[in-house]
Chain A
Amino acid sequence: MYQIVQKEQFSENVVKLVVHAPRIARSRKPGHFIILRIDEKGERIPLTIAEANIEAGTITLVVQNVGVSSKRLCAMNVGDQILDLVGPLGKATHISEVGTVLACGGGVGIAPLLPIVEGFKKAGNRVVTVLAARTKELIILEKEIRQWSDEVIIMTDDGSYGIKGLVTQGAEEIIKREKVDECVTIGPAVMMKFVALLTQKYEIPTQASLNAIMVDGTGMCGACRASVGGQTKFTCIDGPEFNAHQIDFDELILRLGGYKAEEKQAWERANS
């Protein structure tokens, strides 16, 4: 059992949960994720580790209410127990000193971006971060991101905070202004697709962290497979980060909808 020791409501549908998992806190690196199961009847869902505190033995997860399991998770409180939690999973982000790094995060993708931004900063890079969301209240972890960024640009679809516009607009301005040596992007698949198209135009090496459907998260089933450079890769063990210019994003987007009907049924059942 894994106890929730802290909870923070970021916005109506986004919460931060700090969970006691000392072994994982010690072993995790930027880019790693966990799989959890709330209770006996629950499904296994992947979540990226946003932060870890070795002394306290905790890891931080950020959850957006988008379906049956995330809704239940968002409703959990301090003191509640998560039945199963395993990790750290996936390959850690490849972090090195490259010069200037452009980090692009969208929505709850900002949470997994945080440890990566921290990693690149600590490795001696200049880090410029572009955070994007639909509206002001969906921009999360801004203070933490600022701590590890030389500059932060905020974009909102509705202009309620920062600059009105998409992540790619903010990113392109940076690219035009200064030399960018590497780009990392995490967010909705559509967003990452357009970031990838942008950086491809400017020939900037780019890593994207994929958010595929997963079951076991250990390479056992292939639910999370994606086409990268024409080859089938398993996101959970070969990724979750891949060369963004080689990812078949259209296929990824189709595959993310693979259980739409079943998810809708489950949602209706849970809310009836």
Chain B
Amino acid sequence: MKEYLKIERDQEWRDQLRKKIKNKERTTQERVSMTSLDPMERIKYQDREVNLGLNMEQAQREASRCMDCVNPTCIEGCPVSINIPKFIKNIERGEVLEAAKTLKETSALPAVCGRVCPQEKQCEAQCFYTLKLKKEPVAIGYLERFAADFEQQSGAVSVPETAPKNQVKVAAIGSGPASLSFAGDMIKLGYDVTVFEALHEVGGVLKYGIPEFRLPNHVVDVELESLAKMGVKFERNFIVGRTASFDDLKAEGYQAFFVASGAGLPRFMNIPGENYNGILSSNEYLTRVNLMNAAKADFDTPVLKGQNVAVIGGGNTAMDSVRTAKRLGAERAMIIYRRSREEMPARVEEVLHAEEEGIEFLNLNNPVEYFSDENGRVSKMRVQRMELGEPDASGRRRPVVVEGSEYDIPVDVVVVAIGVSPNPLVPSELPELKVSRWGTIEVDPETMQSSMPELFAGGDIVRGGATVILAMGDGRKAAAGMHKYLSQKKETAAN
């Protein structure tokens, strides 16, 4: 890997580009900021993307901040190891399509990741600017998005090269980011890949979870088309283990499986009144709006609109839900979070966007009970105030109840976004599969192989609730692990 990076870095064009501008000059430039739609305007639309992207001039200027380090630490911060300096230097010299191609060498969904990765915790956290210069990092995420969007808009979408077909059938279960990343790598290696999806649309959380204002569906669709062009097959409305059993699929020639069925099972708090009408999981709320288009009048699926909407939680799902509520016309859209702003797991940018849109943050508050009107519809919630105590096992300061601090808030819709558990649907069909006490599938962390040799797993079904990019990293590892396993098996059979 290091060797490969060095050879690429030593190419003449990279060398010349480095000489063109002195590093001192590069480091004195300001980080680019991305333009976004006006907050008061954008909350009128469920489906207008907030961030508008960079233009060519902004992108090239930002790309020139990157110093093309000898030891590019940024790559270590990327779970799919994108060759970051190579793609950025291609933008700097104006070869944006080349930059897009570089992204696709290791990432199946660059236009997605450029938008939804928490770069401040990943690549950008490992940028030389952050680590050594104590300055704003190079805007790697913005540039990734720029290159991927540029390619999509150019119409000249490149299809990565694939190895000759080896006629070996493998299945990916679930069609979220982990599976798509796995499928992209396996198809490049020559396998016959089918992705099985339970819902009627492919994409997992990218379609049912993340709203249009953060990740437009057409952006996801282009990436899916590119996988289809490479030969990946998609079977929708198909639950492996139910629609057909694992044994059925083995009989149909599938030699190995990658289970990436996600952590779709929503958690509730189990407090009194939680089953009143108007109280729903963020998964239900977001699925109705994003997958079923419930906000549009000509679609059949309904969604509850509220004047006073409370969203419980502090992660990205909570931010997506509360901003969706605002767009559905809520007068008061509130985040109720039991810790403080600092502990919020949501992306910094999304919290800022939510604030701009007039979302209220009731931090250090926790619901204890719900009350309903005579029709069983939630009418108010009782919360108690919290304060931060000693750090817990996760290193975050533990919230402690302030005794006697309870008060009531009028609400007519409550969205519970306190996390998800692994979906038991697939593991329940495989009694011999080893799962943890939390229901996650146990795997070798290097190869992603489970206790059943032909079965690999990754993403949230292994991690619990995590991020898109970590799921994609797992997909890559599983592809490598499965390729090794199947190659060895073939060799053994030949001897």
Contact = CB atoms under 8 A, between A and B. Distances in A.
Interface string A78-106: 00000111111100000000000000000
Contacts of B283: 220-222
Contact of A68 (B208, B280, B300): B300
A255 B277 contact: yes
B35 interface: no
A223 B280 contact: yes
Interface in B286-313: 287-288, 292-293, 297-304
A237 B288 CA distance: 19
B458 interface: no
B265 A219 contact: yes
Interface stretch (A144-152, A168-176, A256-264): A256-264
B425 A237 contact: yes
Given A37-B200, A83-B200, A227-B275, A219 B237 contact: no
Interface stretch (A9-17, A40-48, A127-135, A179-187): A40-48
Interface string B256-291: 000000001110101000111110110110011000
A268 interface: no
B423 interface: yes
Contacts of A216: 198-199, 287
Contact of B242 (A44, A87, A232): A87
B264 A222 contact: no
A111 interface: no
Interface string B410-444: 00000000000001110000000000000000000
B376 interface: yes
A10 to B, nearest CB: 24
A122 interface: no
A24 B288 CA distance: 26
Given A27-B242, A262-B302, A218 B425 contact: yes
Given A219-B424, A219-B425, A232-B268, A263 B302 contact: yes
A228 B274 CA distance: 14
Interface centre among B266, B268, B276, B423 (most CB of A within 10 A): B266
B163 interface: no
B298 A41 contact: yes
A248 to B, nearest CB: 8
Nearest to A255: B277
Given A44-B292, A87-B242, A255-B275, A218 B198 contact: yes
A215 B302 contact: no
Nearest to B237: A86
A247 B284 CA distance: 23
A163 to B, nearest CB: 35
Contacts of A232: 268, 270, 274-275
A254 interface: yes
B244 A27 contact: yes
Nearest to A83: B200
Contacts of A86: 198-200, 237-239, 243
Contact of B244 (A23, A218, A220, A263): A23
B36 interface: no
B488 interface: no
B200 A215 contact: no
Contact of A221 (B236, B266, B275): B266
Contacts of A258: 277-278, 304, 376-377
B242 A88 contact: yes
B245 interface: yes
B417 to A, nearest CB: 12
B293 A41 contact: yes
A13 to B, nearest CB: 19
Nearest to A214: B284
A220 B301 CA distance: 16
Contact of A255 (B236, B288, B376, B424): B376
B431 to A, nearest CB: 15
B154 interface: no
Contacts of A69: 300
Nearest to A41: B299
A223 B301 CA distance: 13
A258 B377 CA distance: 8
22 contacts: A23-B238, A24-B243, A27-B242, A27-B244, A37-B200, A41-B298, A43-B299, A87-B243, A88-B243, A216-B287, A218-B423, A220-B208, A220-B264, A220-B287, A221-B280, A221-B283, A225-B268, A232-B270, A257-B375, A258-B278, A259-B304, A263-B302
Given A219-B423, A220-B265, A226-B275, 9 more contacts: A23-B243, A37-B200, A84-B237, A88-B243, A89-B242, A215-B284, A220-B208, A222-B268, A232-B270
Ordered nearest first, which 6 A-B pairs have the shortest CB separation? A262-B302, A254-B376, A221-B284, A258-B277, A220-B264, A84-B200
